[in-house]
């Protein structure tokens, strides 16, 4: 099953990124599945990084961030790129991988017309994305409305409401609740048999590391104000905001991020086994 590489190339600082990547791969292995971290290395799409490649990637200062639209450029120009959710889903599907674990998906930002390519990729590619919901910096009601329009089921794993990455809930309803990997696998099988594409399986972050909603809103407001003052826009917004809120919360969001990545990887391994 697949793991993305933008998370470790752009989302987490060294050495936390390599520690988290290895912990996620170990959790998948313990669950009885085969981990495959995906990236583009010097122009070569690579499905399953070796330990040396993983370590090398986490130390590179200027790695390209590649969604689906960027893959051809990275390949043709022989660049190294960390793949986003959209980029990873596209490459995973071409490699025959149907289950993918990440932290949180992209979606509709609070700014008008700023929509993540994750949305359209999920609408056309039959891969299950195990995550902790969508990133907390997003407009979550709009994100869920988009997913409904694009016919992407949103399954809540052990929850009736959509998780919000660092927060356990957004208080928004999911398409359906599932409580076991076997239930997830049954829905995936039926959805794909009917010609459906992507499916989101959203698992809440553990309660002992979840961020308090009031603290989160205050930190996000400060980070957004700083981003606006610096003129941060486009695909630079998400990594900038996540880095700033980590500083403002004194590492609480970073610890939550690490924990949910490993938990999602473990669940994805169990789902991959059940699906098989």
**Mean pLDDT, the chain cut into blocks of 10 residues (276 residues total):** 91 89 96 96 97 93 93 98 97 97 92 87 98 92 97 98 96 98 98 98 97 92 90 78 89 93 98 94
What pLDDT is attached to residue 66? 95
Active-site annotation holder among 4, 25, 121, 224: 4
- CATH code of 2-275, in short, is 3.40.1790.10
Q: What are the residue boundaries of the structural domains of the chain, listed by start?
A: 2-275
Are the C-beta atoms of 179 and 218 separated by less than 8 Å? no
The pLDDT value given to residue 109: 84
Q: Quickly tell me which residue has 């195990």 as its tokens.
A: 130
pLDDT of residue 135: 87
Question: Cα–Cα distance between 169 and 133 in angstroms, integer?
Answer: 9
pTM: 0.93
Cα–Cα distance measured from residue 167 to residue 269, given in angstroms and rounded to the nearest whole number: 23
Please say if 4 is a catalytic residue: yes
Query: Which residue in the list 121, 135, 224, 252 is annotated as catalytic?
Result: 135
> In this predicted structure, what is the pLDDT of residue 241?
83
Determine whether 135 is an active site residue: yes
């Amino acid at each position: 099953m697949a793991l993305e590489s933008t998370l470790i190339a752009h989302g987490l600082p060294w050495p936390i990124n390599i520690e988290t990547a290895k912990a996620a791969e170990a959790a998948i292995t313990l669950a009885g599945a085969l981990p495959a971290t995906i990236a583009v290395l010097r122009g070569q799409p690579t499905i399953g990084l070796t330990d040396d490649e993983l370590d090398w990637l986490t130390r590179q200062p200027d790695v390209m961030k590649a969604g689906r639209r960027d893959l051809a450029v990275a390949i043709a120009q022989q660049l190294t790129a960390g793949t986003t959710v959209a980029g990873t889903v596209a490459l995973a599907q071409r490699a025959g991988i149907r289950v993918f674990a990440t932290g949180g998906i992209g979606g509709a930002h609070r700014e008008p017309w700023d929509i993540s390519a994750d949305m359209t990729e999920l609408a056309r590619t039959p891969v299950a994305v195990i995550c902790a919901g969508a990133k907390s910096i997003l407009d979550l009601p709009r994100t869920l409305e988009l997913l409904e329009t694009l016919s992407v089921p949103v399954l809540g794993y052990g929850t009736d409401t959509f998780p919000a990455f660092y927060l356990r809930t957004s208080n928004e309803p999911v398409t359906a609740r599932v409580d076991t990997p076997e239930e997830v696998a049954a829905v995936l099988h039926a959805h794909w048999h009917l010609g459906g594409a992507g499916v989101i399986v959203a698992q809440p972050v553990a309660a002992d590391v979840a961020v308090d909603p009031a603290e989160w809103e205050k930190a996000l407001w400060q980070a957004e104000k700083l981003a606006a003052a610096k003129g941060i826009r486009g695909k630079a917004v998400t990594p900038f905001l996540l880095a700033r809120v980590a500083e403002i919360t004194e590492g609480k969001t970073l610890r939550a991020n690490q924990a949910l990545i490993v938990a999602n990887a473990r669940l994805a391994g169990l789902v991959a086994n059940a699906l098989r």
